[in-house]
């Protein structure tokens, strides 16, 4: 065997093509190798801008002695989580079952020869530290366990599958307000977002709150939205020089980011800002909308397709945040900067300065900060195009048009959709690189953007396309037994169980989006069945299904004959 990652177009997999590890990709050939050789699989899932993925690669996957152990005892499979979100979903869920804690990346899972997980972790250090065993120790112990208990491990499949399968009750309806009040109780009324650290923006929570504000005009739903937007726009998570936000912060004050910039966060940031501005005009937020929109237009475009790529790395030249932070000596002579940002000789993060806004800076300050920064090497850009995220960008352009109708955003949305159609929709719908792989998220967000274009332009072709894609999604993804959409295509599932996902993650869950799509299109029978199904899951998993609260209520309002849109309902 040899490392075959050079044959895969994924930027993340390309980063590992020169590892001495005999990396394979997830396919029938590599899975069959495990079965025929009776070897366990070491599955490593990550993405190109993941800092700890880089650390583990440098420490272990580039180390010959570690690679020798991996090659000797395992079939080693590397997966880009953005190429195969279905695999990431199933094995993150498996990690959470085994460890009773949240997962993350890099995800390091050990599977039996049939592809069923039996143990896992995230980052393992090269040497034992911070209470974590060394990766080599893990490799040896897992190998020994598999040799000694192989049959017992293989026989665990049914038990593991049963524990991973989602539970459902017969509840067919529940009032949203008690569920929303529980969300509000968990929010940080000082710093915004959820209480504690690390802090993630969780945009789907605040979009749901905006929906219920538009419906009820109760300010308790709008206040937390305004608070988190103020924090996201002014603190260290925001890039004050070029625009856009980082994925999360490690502290509760939104100051110290994990510096990777993800497309999905920045599109949702723009969407939330525009929806808030429609309710309450805010010039400061509008400037942040414009800056972040221009950042995506100029920095996130993949030149070979003119579509949006996926992410910017947290690291440059091997150092996390190097591109974004400043030394005091670089800033001390910038006139009046101390009035606009928290600038101290000792810095505010590991002796460096993360820009933390005290007052909105003028253009000259930003210009000088950019001149310092542009001398540096930019972080790596993952130019991978993903259908669902590019469709969400179309929806955000339509939303931008609603607050800035004279800026050409609607025409830009139509033109951008034409590029999407040409790239992803000619022969069949597909997610990213492989033309054989699509996910329910791709269809959900494609249909959503077509309906948004239809509502904004009154062009019936978009609605007709949306209708056709809805029927196609039902055929390909709808699990009749569970009355829910599964993540991957039913007849192409190559995982040990059905990946049925009802929880919000980096985006609002595709089942909740499909319920809204059904309701907007008048698919009444399908909407009713999916609504009942989601209600059954909601009674068990309410903390993970925030967008479904909105979707179920939206369907209920539509079915009651009310005149609605996805941002609120009126009689």
To which residue do tokens 């005091």 refer? 328
User: What is the band of 568 on the pLDDT scale with cuts at 50, 70, 90?
Assistant: low
DSSP 480: T
Express each pLDDT in 149-206 by its tens digit: 999 999 999 999 999 999 999 877 789 999 999 999 999 999 999 999 999 999 999 9
Q: Quick check: 463 and 451 in contact, CB under 8 A?
A: yes
Average pLDDT taken over every residue of the chain:
96
Instruction: Name which of 487, 563, 559 is nearest 529 in CA terms.
Output: 559
Provide CB contacts within 8 A for 420, sequence distance 6+.
Answer: 307, 387, 390, 391, 394, 446
Inter-residue contact 128 to 59 (CB < 8 Å): no
Report the distance separating Cα 116 and Cα 494, nearest Å: 11
Instruction: Looking at 460-545, list the stretches that DSSP marks H as alpha helix, in order from N- to C-terminal side.
Output: 460-477, 510-521, 524-541
From 226, 231, 219, 228, select the one nearest 282 (Cα to Cα). Answer: 226
Contact predicate 16/78, CB 8 Å: yes
What are 285-317's pLDDT values in tens digits? 999 999 999 999 999 999 999 999 999 999 999
Q: Is the pLDDT of residue 570 over 70?
A: no
Q: Quick one: how far is CA 177 from the chain centroid?
A: 27
Dihedral sign for Cα 56, 59, 64, 70, please. negative
Structure tokens at 463: 């609605």
> Is residue 427 over pLDDT 70?
yes
Handedness of CA 264, 270, 275, 280 (dihedral sign): positive
Task: Scan for tokens 């075959």, then name that residue.
Answer: 4
Whats the size of the chain, residue-wise? 571
Share of the chain above pLDDT 70, in %: 99
In this prediction, residue 565 carries a pLDDT of 66
> 158 vs 12, 109, 134, 261, CA distance in Å?
33, 18, 31, 39
Is residue 443 within 8 A of residue 429, CB to CB? The reply is yes
How far is CA 371 from its chain centroid? 31
Contact 73/154 with Cβ under 8 angstroms? no
Pair 114, 494: CB distance under 8 Å? no
**pLDDT value for 313:** 96
Is residue 542 predicted with pLDDT exceeding 70?
Answer: yes
Please name the helix (run of DSSP H) or strand (run of DSSP E) that holds residue 237, with its range, or none.
Answer: none
In three-state form (DSSP H/G/I as H, E/B as E, the rest C), the secondary structure along 310-366 is: CEECCEECCEECCCCCECHHHHCCCCCHHHCECCCCCCCECCEECCCECCCCCHHHH
Helices in 478-509 by DSSP H: which ranges?
Answer: none
pLDDT tens digits for range 86-107? 999 999 999 999 999 889 999 9
Residue 445 in tokens: 């967000």
Cα 261 to the center of its chain, rounded Å: 11
Q: Residue 469: which of 532, 398, 547, 417 has the closest Cα?
A: 417
The helix/strand/coil state of 257 is strand
Question: What SS3 state is found at 19?
Answer: coil
The pLDDT assigned to 405 comes to 97
Q: What percent of the chain has pLDDT over 90?
A: 95
Residues 21, 27, 32, 34: what is their CA dihedral angle, to the nearest 10 degrees? 30
R_g of the chain, CA atoms, integer Å = 24
End-to-end CA distance of the chain: 66
The reply to whether the predicted model has a pTM over 0.85 is yes
Bridge-partner residues for 249, per DSSP?
Answer: 199, 257
Per-residue pLDDT reduced to its tens digit, 128-146: 988 889 999 999 999 999 9
DSSP 482: T
Rounded CA gap, 312 and 50, in Å? 9
* Alpha-carbon span 392 to 449, nearest angstrom: 7
* The pLDDT value given to residue 571: 44
């Amino acid at each position: 065997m040899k490392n075959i990652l050079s044959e895969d177009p994924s930027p993340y997999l390309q980063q590992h093509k020169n590892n001495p590890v005999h990396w394979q990709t997830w396919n029938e050939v590599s899975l069959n190798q495990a079965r025929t050789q009776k070897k366990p699989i070491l599955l490593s899932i990550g993405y190109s801008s993941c800092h700890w993925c880089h650390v583990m690669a440098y420490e272990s996957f580039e180390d010959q002695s570690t690679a020798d152990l991996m090659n000797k005892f395992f079939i080693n499979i590397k997966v880009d989580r953005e190429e195969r979100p279905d695999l990431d979903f199933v094995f993150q869920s498996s990690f959470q079952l085994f460890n009773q804690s949240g997962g993350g990346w890099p995800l390091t899972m050990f599977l039996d020869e049939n592809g069923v997980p039996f143990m896992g972790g995230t980052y393992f250090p090269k040497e034992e530290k911070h209470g974590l065993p060394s990766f080599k120790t893990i490799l040896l112990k897992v190998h020994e366990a598999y040799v000694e208990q192989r049959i017992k491990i293989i026989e665990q499949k049914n038990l593991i599958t049963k524990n991973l399968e989602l539970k459902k009750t017969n509840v067919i309806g529940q009032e949203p307000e008690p569920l929303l009040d529980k969300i509000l109780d968990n929010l940080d009324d000082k710093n915004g977002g959820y209480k504690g650290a690390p802090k993630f923006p969780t945009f789907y929570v605040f979009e749901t709150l905006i929906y219920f504000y538009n419906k009820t005009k109760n300010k308790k739903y709008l206040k937390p939205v305004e608070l988190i937007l103020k924090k996201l726009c002014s603190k260290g998570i925001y890039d004050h020089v070029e625009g856009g936000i980082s994925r999360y912060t490690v502290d509760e004050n939104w100051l110290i980011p994990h510096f990777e910039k993800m497309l999905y966060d920045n599109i949702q940031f723009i969407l939330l800002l525009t929806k808030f501005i429609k309710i309450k005009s805010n010039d400061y937020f509008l400037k942040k909308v414009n800056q972040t929109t221009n950042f995506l237009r100029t920095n996130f475009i993949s030149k070979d397709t003119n579509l949006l790529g996926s992410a910017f790395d947290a690291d440059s030249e091997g150092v996390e945040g190097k591109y974004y932070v400043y030394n005091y000596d670089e800033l001390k002579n910038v006139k009046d900067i101390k009035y606009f940002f928290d600038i101290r000789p000792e810095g505010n993060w590991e002796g460096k300065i993360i820009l933390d806004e005290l007052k909105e800076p003028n253009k000259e300050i930003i210009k000088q900060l950019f001149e310092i920064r542009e001398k540096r090497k930019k972080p790596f850009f993952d130019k991978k195009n993903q259908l669902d995220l590019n469709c969400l960008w179309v929806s955000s352009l339509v939303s931008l048009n609603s607050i800035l109708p004279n800026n050409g955003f609607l025409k830009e949305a139509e033109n951008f959709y034409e590029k999407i159609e040409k790239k992803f929709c000619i022969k069949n719908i597909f997610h990213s690189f492989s033309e054989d792989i699509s996910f329910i998220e791709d269809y959900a967000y494609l249909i959503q953007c077509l309906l948004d274009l239809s509502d904004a332009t009154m062009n019936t072709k978009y609605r007709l396309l949306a209708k056709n894609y809805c029927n196609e999604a039902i055929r390909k993804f709808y699990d009749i037994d569970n009355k829910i959409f599964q993540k991957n295509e039913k007849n192409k599932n190559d995982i040990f169980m059905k990946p049925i996902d009802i929880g919000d993650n980096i985006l609002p869950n595709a089942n909740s989006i499909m319920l809204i799509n059904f309701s907007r299109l008048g698919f009444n029978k399908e909407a009713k069945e999916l609504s009942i199904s989601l209600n059954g899951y909601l009674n068990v998993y309410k903390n993970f299904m925030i967008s479904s609260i909105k979707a179920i209520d939206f369907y209920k309002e539509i079915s009651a004959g009310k005149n609605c849109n996805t941002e609120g309902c009126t009689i």
